[in-house]
Structure 1
Amino acid sequence: MRRTRVLLAAAVVALTLSSGLWAASRNDSADAAIGGITWQDEFNGAAGSPVDGSKWKFDTGGGGFGNNELQYYTTSTSNVQQDGQGHLAITARKENPANYQCHYGTCQYTSGRILTADKFSQTYGRFEASLKIPKGQGIWPAFWMLGGSNWPTTGEIDIMENVGYAPNTVYGTVHGPGYSGAGGIGGNKSLSAPLSDAFHTYAVDWSPNLIVWTVDGQEYFRVTPANINGNQWVYNHNFFMILNVAVGGNWPGNPDASTVFPQTMLVDWVRVSGYTEGGTTPPPATGATALKSNLNGRCLDIPNGNASDGVRVQMWDCNNATAQKWSFESDGTLRGLGKCLDPAGGALTNGTPLQIVNCNGNPVQRWTLSGAGDLVNLSANKCVDIKDNNSANNAALQLWDCAGTANQKWAKA
C-alpha cells in the first residue's frame, strides 16, 4: 500500500501473472501449519463507539503517503467507528468545507487508517479479515502489513488491495528491498461480481520461505524466495497490520464525477492465528472449563461421557462432570474427553450437527470463543447454535450464521 505504483506497471504485473512466471512451485516450501487464534477483534462495540485503543492506533495527516493520495486521515469517529452491528466502519468523506491541510492544498477528503503497531505484531501464521469494501473511481481500500518503519527494507505484505476502476479484482503483493513500489511482486484474482457487493474473507498464510494469498479460502497467489529475482527475502520477523481507505493516488487515480461519497469499508472481524513449526501438534493448553449457554444456563455436554467417534454433543444441566470440561488448545482445536469438537462430515453449512471425533489436523476443527461470547468455527465463520432455541436437556447443537442471539452465546464457567 505505502508506495508509488503506476497503471502501466500494474498491467504488466497482471499480464506476467497470467503467464505463470511469478507463480511459485508448490514444491518450493511446505504450506503453513496454522494453530489457534493469537489475536482478534470482532468489533462488537456500541454504535458510534471508537475503535478499541488497546488493539489499534491511528495514522493521521494528509502528506500523500508516498502515493500522492488526496485524503487526510483523522482520529474522528466520523471516519472510524463501530456500527453496533458487529462491524467497524472506515469511511472516506468529501469535506465541505475542508478543514485540513494536505500536501496539495486544502484537503477535499477525510478518511481513516488504523494499525496494530506497538500493540500487536507476529511472525508467521494466518492473518485474515472479513471485509465489505467500498467502491468508486479513485477509492483504494487496503488490508496490509508492515515489518517496521524502514520501508522497504523491513518489508510489506499487502493482503488485500482494490482500486475502484477494477471493482471485481483483489490484489496481493509483497514489497522489499529491490522490489518495491511499481516493482512489487504480486498476484490478483477477479471474482464474478464486484467485491463491494458482499463480505469476503481475505487472508495470507505465512510460514518460513512461503506466503500464500487466498480470497474466501481459494488460493490465487504464492511467493517464495525463488520469486524475488535474487533480492533479499525479508519476511522472517514480526509484522503489524493496517486497515485503511485511501482516496486518489498514483495507482487508482483520482475520484471523478462518477464517484459517490461517503464510501465505507465494513470490517466484520480481523483474526490472527499462530504457526506450528513442521505441522506438529503443540503441547495442549492447561486447564479445562465448562461452556455455559446464555439461553438456558446449561452446559455443552458429551452424552453419558461416551468418547466414541461420532457422538453428537448436546446441552445438559451443568454438573462439573469431565464430559463437560473443554479446553481450547494452541492448535486451535476445542477438546473434550481427548476428542475434538467437529462439524459432522466436515460440512460447513447451516444446520451441520456437531460431534466429537479424533483430532486429525483438519482446519474445520479450529474454533475460537470471541470476547462477545460467540463460539465460532474458523473455517465456516459460523457459530455454535442451540438448534430451535431448545432450552431443555438433550438439545442438539449445530453450525449456523452468527446472529448475536442468546442460543449462540457462551461463557466459560
Structure 2
Amino acid sequence: MTRSRSAPRAVARAAVALAVAAASLVLPGPTAPAQAAIGGVTWQDEFNAPAGAAVDQSKWRFDIGGGGWGNNERQYYTNSTSNAVHDGQGNLVITARRDNPANYQCHYGRCEYTSARLLTAATFTQAYGRFEARIKIPRGQGIWPAFWMLGNDMGSVGWPNAGEIDIMENIGREPNTVYGTIHGPGYSGGGGITGNRTVGAPLADGFHTYRVDWEPNSIVWYLDGVEFHRVDPGRLGGNRWVFDHPFFMILNVAVGGNWPGYPDGTTQFPQQMLVDYVRVNGYTDGGNPPGTTRLRGAQSGRCIDIPSANPVDGAKLQIWDCNTTAAQAWTFAGDGTVRAMGKCMDPAWAGTANGTEVNLVTCNGNPAQRFTLNASGDLVNLSANRCVDVRDQNPANGGKLQLWDCAGSANQRWSRY
C-alpha cells in the first residue's frame, strides 16, 4: 500500500479546524463515559510458541518489500524469522535491523534496514468491538512502531476511502507519547483526526496496553485502560464516516519516514517490539436497536427522550426513565446529526444563545443540527459551541433540554447507554 504524510498511517499534527473547535472547551476533569458494548473474544494470539518459532500463518501474513510504503520509509519488510519470531517467553518479537543484503532493493537503492510488517487481511477481519494489544515498543530516533487497522475494501476502493484506524503509533523523537488517529476521505494524511497522550516515562521502558473500543459512529482510544481520544461523525466537518465495515489489523516497525525522520548517530540497532498478546472482542448492541444508543444523563440517570414517542416537528426533548423504545434510540449519523424516529436533534430556530430549546425537527442539512459527544461526556452543538443542558438542573422525568455554556456540571454530562 502507498502512503505518505498524505497516505495511510500518516498522522496529522495539525488539527482539523472543526475538530479543534469541538474539542477546545476548557472543562473540569471528565466523568467516565460509557464504554462500548463489548462481547466475548472473537480472535486472539497469545504468542506462546517455542523460542525461534515462526509467526502463525493461520493468523498473520506478511507485507514484503522496500518501496517506501508511501512515507519514504527506509526498511525492507521481510518474512524472515530474523525480523519476526517468537521468543519462547510469551512474546512475538519484531526486530528492525541495520542490514543491507544485496538482494533487498529499496526505493532509494540498496536497503540499509530490514524489519517486518504482519497483517490479518487474509485471515481475520471484523467490524466493531475491542481491539487491544500489550506491547513493549522499541526506541530511538527514526523508529516508528505501530498497531493499526485498514478497511477490508482497500483493494476495491483504495485509501483513504477504505478507512484507517491507528490504535497506537509512536515516533522515537517523542518517546513518552502515543498517538491515535483515523484517516478517511477528506481527513487523511495531514488532516487525519488525531489525539495523543504523554506519560511520565518512555513507553519503551515497559509493556503497555493499547486499545480501541469501536462501535457504530464512535471510536475511543485507551492507553493502559485510560481514555485519551474519541471520535464520532460530528468531528469530520461534514466528511464521510467510513468506519462501518470490517477492518484488518497490522503490526509493524518502520525505520525512517516523513513524519518520524531518519535514524541518526544516536539510534542503536537492532530495535525490537515485543508483543505479549493481541485480542479482539466482538460488539453487542446492549439491547438497543442495531446502530443506536441511548444517551443517559450523569445527574439524573435518565435518558434523552422524545415526549410520548411522538416525533412531531418541534417536540421539546426531555429526560425520562431509560427504556428501549424508539423514542430513546439515537443514532450519530455520518453527517454529524443525532437522530431518532427519523428526525434530528435541533436547536430551536437554529439558535446559538444560552437557553435555546433543544427540539426534534425534520433533518434539513442545516449545520445547526450537528452535534458531537466529546471525551468529557459533553454533547456539544458545533454551531453554538454550547452544551446540551437539562434546564434548571431538573433531574425528574420531563426535565427539558436547552443549550448552555459548557461548565462541566452533571446536568450537562451524557454517556452512551
Q: Which moved more, 1:271-280 or 1:68-77?
A: 271-280
Alignment partner for residue 87 of structure 2, among 83, 92, 96? Answer: 83
Match of 2:244 in 1: 236
Match of 1:47 in 2: 51
Distance 1:214 1:132, change over 3 A: same
Deviation readout 1:204-257 (Å, 9 max, x if unpaired): 000000000000000000000000111000000000000000000000001001
What is the alpha-carbon distance in structure 2 between the residues aligned to residue 256 and residue 138 of structure 1? 8
In structure 1, list runs of 5 or more residues that go unmatched.
Answer: 281-413
Alignment partner for residue 263 of structure 1, among 250, 271, 287? Answer: 271
| Matched letter for residue 122 of structure 2 | D
SS of the residue corresponding to residue 90 of structure 1 reads: strand
Q: Residues 79 and 116 of structure 2 are in contact (CA less than 8 Å); yes or no, is this contact kept in structure 1?
A: yes
SS of the residue corresponding to residue 23 of structure 2 reads: coil
Q: Which moved more, 1:89-98 or 1:168-177?
A: 89-98
Alignment partner for residue 21 of structure 1, among 20, 23, 28? Answer: 23
In structure 2, list runs of 5 or more residues that go unmatched.
Answer: 289-417
Does 2:252 correspond to 1:250? no
Match of 2:109 in 1: 105
Does 2:135 correspond to 1:131? yes
Match of 1:216 in 2: 224
Q: CA deviation at 1:5?
A: 2.2
Alignment partner for residue 233 of structure 2, among 222, 225, 232? Answer: 225
What is the alpha-carbon distance in structure 2 between the residues aligned to residue 99 and residue 235 of structure 1? 39
Match of 2:205 in 1: 197
What is the alpha-carbon distance in structure 2 between the residues aligned to residue 212 and residue 166 of structure 1? 22
What is the alpha-carbon distance in structure 2 between the residues aligned to residue 12 and residue 54 of structure 1? 39
Q: Residues 3 and 180 of structure 1 are in contact (CA less than 8 Å); yes or no, is this contact kept in structure 2?
A: no
- Identical-residue share of aligned pairs (%): 66
SS of the residue corresponding to residue 226 of structure 1 reads: helix
Match of 1:310 in 2: none
Does 2:125 correspond to 1:117? no
SS of the residue corresponding to residue 165 of structure 1 reads: coil
SS of the residue corresponding to residue 235 of structure 1 reads: coil
What is the alpha-carbon distance in structure 2 between the residues aligned to residue 279 and residue 133 of structure 1? 38
| Matched letter for residue 5 of structure 1 | R
Q: Residues 33 and 279 of structure 1 are in contact (CA less than 8 Å); yes or no, is this contact kept in structure 2?
A: no
Q: Residues 171 and 188 of structure 1 are in contact (CA less than 8 Å); yes or no, is this contact kept in structure 2?
A: yes
What is the alpha-carbon distance in structure 1 between the residues aligned to residue 234 and residue 175 of structure 2? 31
| Matched letter for residue 234 of structure 1 | V
Match of 1:301 in 2: none
What is the alpha-carbon distance in structure 2 between the residues aligned to residue 152 and residue 256 of structure 1? 31
Q: CA deviation at 1:13?
A: 3.3
Q: Which moved more, 1:95-104 or 1:238-247?
A: 95-104
Distance 1:137 1:15, change over 3 A: farther
Distance 1:245 1:14, change over 3 A: farther
SS of the residue corresponding to residue 229 of structure 1 reads: coil
SS of the residue corresponding to residue 221 of structure 1 reads: strand
**What are the equivalent positions in structure 2 for 1:392-411 lying under 5 Å apart?**
none
Q: Residues 18 and 235 of structure 2 are in contact (CA less than 8 Å); yes or no, is this contact kept in structure 1?
A: no
What is the alpha-carbon distance in structure 1 between the residues aligned to residue 216 and residue 268 of structure 2? 43
Match of 1:278 in 2: 286
Q: Residues 129 and 268 of structure 1 are in contact (CA less than 8 Å); yes or no, is this contact kept in structure 2?
A: yes
Match of 1:5 in 2: 5
Match of 1:35 in 2: 39
Deviation readout 1:26-55 (Å, 9 max, x if unpaired): 99x964110110000000001011010100
What is the alpha-carbon distance in structure 2 between the residues aligned to residue 17 and residue 192 of structure 1? 27
Q: Residues 86 and 268 of structure 1 are in contact (CA less than 8 Å); yes or no, is this contact kept in structure 2?
A: yes
| Matched letter for residue 13 of structure 1 | A
Match of 2:164 in 1: 156
TM-score (norm 2): 0.63
Q: Residues 47 and 277 of structure 2 are in contact (CA less than 8 Å); yes or no, is this contact kept in structure 1?
A: yes
Does 2:196 correspond to 1:188? yes
| Matched letter for residue 230 of structure 1 | G
**What are the equivalent positions in structure 2 for 1:52-67 lying under 5 Å apart?**
52-67=56-71
Q: Residues 60 and 74 of structure 1 are in contact (CA less than 8 Å); yes or no, is this contact kept in structure 2?
A: yes
Q: Residues 55 and 116 of structure 1 are in contact (CA less than 8 Å); yes or no, is this contact kept in structure 2?
A: yes
Match of 1:348 in 2: none
Q: CA deviation at 1:3?
A: 3.3
Q: CA deviation at 1:118?
A: 1.5
Q: Residues 14 and 187 of structure 1 are in contact (CA less than 8 Å); yes or no, is this contact kept in structure 2?
A: no
Q: Residues 51 and 80 of structure 1 are in contact (CA less than 8 Å); yes or no, is this contact kept in structure 2?
A: yes
What is the alpha-carbon distance in structure 2 between the residues aligned to residue 260 and residue 21 of structure 1? 38
Q: Residues 60 and 113 of structure 1 are in contact (CA less than 8 Å); yes or no, is this contact kept in structure 2?
A: yes
**What are the equivalent positions in structure 2 for 1:363-402 lying under 5 Å apart?**
none
**What are the equivalent positions in structure 2 for 1:285-304 lying under 5 Å apart?**
none
Match of 1:71 in 2: 75
Deviation readout 1:93-117 (Å, 9 max, x if unpaired): 0015554100110000000000000
Distance 1:161 1:35, change over 3 A: same
| Matched letter for residue 12 of structure 1 | A
| Matched letter for residue 251 of structure 2 | L
Q: Residues 13 and 194 of structure 2 are in contact (CA less than 8 Å); yes or no, is this contact kept in structure 1?
A: no
| Matched letter for residue 42 of structure 1 | E
Distance 1:254 1:208, change over 3 A: same
Distance 1:44 1:279, change over 3 A: farther
Deviation readout 1:178-211 (Å, 9 max, x if unpaired): 1111111110000110000010000000000000
Distance 1:32 1:65, change over 3 A: same
**What are the equivalent positions in structure 2 for 1:293-372 lying under 5 Å apart?**
none
TM-score (norm 1): 0.63
Match of 1:146 in 2: 150
Deviation readout 1:312-348 (Å, 9 max, x if unpaired): xxxxxxxxxxxxxxxxxxxxxxxxxxxxxxxxxxxxx
Q: Residues 146 and 157 of structure 1 are in contact (CA less than 8 Å); yes or no, is this contact kept in structure 2?
A: yes
Distance 1:80 1:46, change over 3 A: same
What is the alpha-carbon distance in structure 1 between the residues aligned to residue 66 and residue 11 of structure 2? 25
